[in-house]
Amino acid sequence: MRGYTMRTAFSAVLAAVLVSTFAVSIAANPQAKGRYKKSGTTCAWDANDSGPNQCEPQTPGRFKHGANNACVWDATESGPDQCKPPAGRWKKDGSSCVWDAKDSGPNQCNPRQVKH
């Protein structure tokens, strides 16, 4: 009987540890849901989908709200843009597509184009 009680207690502790670890991993990565999906020649973020990415954008990242109401590019994040900068454009730089906040005119490239 004592062995049964010890196994039951051990199983309960192990289950609690696993649930806690899973909860912490989800909280540590709030962007875990979503993936990039190919849509024609673009690679679009779909926050309501899951599974492996279908593509990789030419320039990973997104515009997000920064300090002092600024709209800044964050290359470490994925997802839809949170804002649109008031000035600037995407420019070709060799085989890359880079944001230049001090330039104007039409975009020379699309950062969400599927990376080849």
Alpha helix positions (H), the chain = 2-28
Strands 35-39 and 42-46: antiparallel
Whether the per-residue pLDDT at 10 is higher than 90: the answer is: no
Which of 84, 42, 47, 41 is CA-nearest to residue 62?
Answer: 84
Q: What is the pLDDT of residues 81-103, one digit of tens each?
A: 999 999 999 999 998 899 999 99
Give me the residue spans of the domains in the chain.
Answer: 1-30, 33-116
Whether the per-residue pLDDT at 1 is higher than 60: the answer is: no
Report residue 61 as tokens: 């990242």
Q: Which residue has the higher pLDDT, 6 or 107?
A: 107
Whether the per-residue pLDDT at 29 is higher than 80: the answer is: no
Whether the per-residue pLDDT at 19 is higher than 50: the answer is: no
